[in-house]
Amino acid sequence: MSGLVPLAPPRRNRVLRSGSLRRARCGEAVSARDKAVGIDIGGTKIAVATVSASGGIVREATIPTDAARGFAAAVPRIVDTVKRLLDESGWSAHELQGIGIGCTGPVDRVRGTILNPHTLPGWQGGDVVSPLRDAFGRPVLLENDADMALRGECHAGAGRGFDPVVMLTFGTGIGGAALVHGQVLRGVAGEHPDMGHVSVDPRGPRCYCGTSGCFESLASGSALAAAAAAHGLGDARQLLARAREHEPAAEGILRDALSAVASATWTIVHALLPERLILGGGMMDEHYETFAAAAASAVARAAMAPPGRITVARAALGNRAGVLGAASAALNLRTEE
């Protein structure tokens, strides 16, 4: 067993304040156990930050994932990065409430292991929790990265003050996470519901998940890149630029993607009835307005939903949502001391 302890209910005095991304001064006095480390493990990079509940991110660093070098090579680099940031922050490990880790899913939260064969090949079954707990002697929590990003946005970003909240993350794939009654929504056995695999077109592209026409297989960065390549339109970025110039083939691919966004939004809105729908991920840096318009059009047509009560918003924390969410989860850890 990993020795994980249950998450305490959200405590108002522990939430990260809106706009709490300022750098606290090194060694700034904050009350004991109001400090945590957040780690966000993705397919290409690993972000690490020391976070204080009162001051937000204190120090942060990003290292390459180097997934091909294997899990065993990554663990000491993560441990070393945490040690360095603790030093730079003027903190010692025993001051930490805990360490939170978000990792590209799926993950086994109970065993603390990584299970993603697509983004982290060769890392399956890797226990990332035990080495950090052994190195720092503090509780360590592992969750799906989409859930951690949602936590970050709900504590300090676009979801703050809203409930329920759904966050969709557009990148290489499409991730989705929901907060309901202050808790991250989990399925059977505590598993993370995978909203990117809501099917919106049974005749659409075959997906690795086992069905066809998934939201992710039509509107993700990799889906757009594949469609662009098949039509000689370059990569996803070039495709979207060509669509803006009204190139017919590019416009058609984008229209299909936006139709998928609207259909998936329709399903998610009717299944979960969120007060706020957050769109985040790298693709939203440049294309938020286009994708948000598609989502908002579905919301506006949803006659069964309370009129005017569902809002669509852009993620506010960018690529820091993951580390902030992971740290906020750690700050809410209940210890047995």
Q: How far is CA 271 from the centre of its chain?
A: 21
| Least gap, CB of 174 to Zn ion (angstroms) | 9
CB of 225 to Zn ion, least distance (A): 16
Q: Smallest distance from the beta carbon of 299 to Zn ion, in angstroms? A: 23
Per CB under 5 A, contacts with Zn ion among 185-244 are: 197, 207, 209, 214
Residues 156 and 165: their CA atoms lie apart, in Å, by 13
Residue 45 CA to residue 43 CA, distance in Å, equals 6
Burial group, residue 169, by CB count within 10 angstroms (0-12, 13-18, 19+): buried
Q: Which is nearer to Zn ion, 85 or 207 (CB)?
A: 207
To Zn ion, the closest distance from the beta carbon of 198 in angstroms equals 8
In the bound state with Zn ion, the residue whose beta carbon lies nearer, of 218 and 239, is 218
Go through 214-238 and write b for each residue having 16 or more CB atoms within 10 A of its CB, e for each that does not.
bbbbbbbbebbbebbeeeebeebee
Q: Closer to Zn ion by CB, 39 or 146: give it.
A: 146
Q: 26 or 209: whose CB is closer to Zn ion?
A: 209
Nearest distance, CB of residue 220 and Zn ion, angstroms: 10
CB of 194 to Zn ion, least distance (A): 8
Distance, first Cα to last Cα, the chain: 19
User: 33 or 197, CB closer to Zn ion?
Assistant: 197
For the bound state, the minimum distance from the C-beta of residue 213 to Zn ion, rounded and expressed in Å, comes to: 8
Residue 214 CB, shortest distance to Zn ion, in Å, is 3
Q: How many residues bind Zn ion (CB under 5 A)?
A: 4
* Angle between helix 236-244 and 248-272 (nearest 10): 100
202: CB partners within 8 A, 6+ apart: 211, 212, 213
Cβ 43 to Zn ion shortest distance, Å:
17
Chain positions 22 to 41 lying near Zn ion, rule: CB under 5 A, are none
Q: At what angle do helices 321-331 and 145-156 cross, to 10 degrees?
A: 80
Which among 38, 150, 33 has a CA at the least distance from the CA of 101?
A: 38
Instruction: Report how far residue 294's alpha carbon sits from residue 316's, in angstroms, rounded to the nearest whole number.
Output: 19
| Nearest CB to Zn ion, comparing residues 54 and 211 | 211
- Residue 115: is it exposed, middle or buried by C-beta count within 10 angstroms (0-12/13-18/19+)? middle
CB proximity list for 337: less than 8 A, separation 6 or greater = none
- Cβ proximity to Zn ion: between 214 and 261 the closer is 214
DSSP state of 25: P
Which three-class secondary structure state does DSSP give residue 140? strand
Q: Which is nearer to Zn ion, 8 or 208 (CB)?
A: 208
Residues forming a β-bridge with 36? 51, 98
**Residue whose CB is less far from Zn ion, 100 or 105:** 105
Chain residues that interact with Zn ion, rule: CB under 5 A: 197, 207, 209, 214
